[in-house]
């Protein structure tokens, strides 16, 4: 299979999180991933922009981890031709500890009187 740079790859994933009505859901979906941080899925559930969902492959690929990947819904489109809601996702990354993120902060400035 010849993959061109910028052409999306498709992966089956399990998506979980809370939908627009606040109900927890787990759904199988196809993830379109263009190789950068942009990911798109089509879900039967409707999500709100800004919500967090978790993606997990149904089986490990190439010895990879089954840990879920946290993503934020940055754009929720209207229903597509198949009745699914197209959602654009951006992967979330953990924040570094405060001691690593801001090493030049003066500890005295953080004292509480």
CATH code at position 41:
2.30.110.10
Say if CB 18 and CB 24 are below 8 A apart: yes
pLDDT at 44: 93
Q: What is the pLDDT of residue 99?
A: 66
**What pLDDT sits at residue 83?**
86
Q: Is residue 113 part of a domain?
A: no
Q: Is residue 34 part of a domain?
A: yes
Report yes or no on 19 lying in a domain: yes
Nearest residue to 13 via CA among 25, 30, 26: 30
Domains held by the chain: number: 1
pLDDT in tens, 54-113: 999 876 555 556 789 999 999 999 787 888 899 999 999 887 776 665 555 555 555 555
Residue 70 lies in a domain: yes
Domain membership flag for residue 100: no
The reply to whether 108 falls in a domain is: no
- Give residue 14's pLDDT: 95
104 phi, psi to nearest 5 deg: -95, 5
Q: Which residue has the tokens 């498709």?
A: 10
CB atoms within 10 A of CB 19: 18
4 falls within a domain: no
In a domain, 41, yes or no: yes
45 pLDDT above the threshold of 90: yes
The per-residue pLDDT for range 17-28, each reduced to its tens digit, is 999 999 999 999
* pTM beyond 0.75, yes or no: no
Domain membership of residue 47 as a residue range? 9-92
**Tokens linked to 16:** 């979980």
């Amino acid at each position: 299979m010849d993959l061109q740079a910028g052409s999306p790859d498709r992966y089956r994933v399990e998506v979980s999180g809370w939908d627009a009505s606040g109900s927890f859901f787990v759904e199988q979906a196809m993830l379109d991933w263009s190789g950068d941080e942009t990911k798109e899925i089509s879900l039967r559930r409707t999500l709100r922009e800004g919500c967090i969902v978790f993606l997990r492959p149904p089986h490990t690929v190439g010895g990879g981890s089954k840990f879920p990947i946290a993503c934020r819904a940055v754009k929720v489109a209207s229903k597509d031709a198949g009745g699914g809601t197209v959602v654009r996702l951006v992967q979330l990354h953990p924040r570094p500890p405060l001691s690593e993120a801001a090493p030049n902060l003066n500890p005295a400035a953080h004292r509480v009187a």
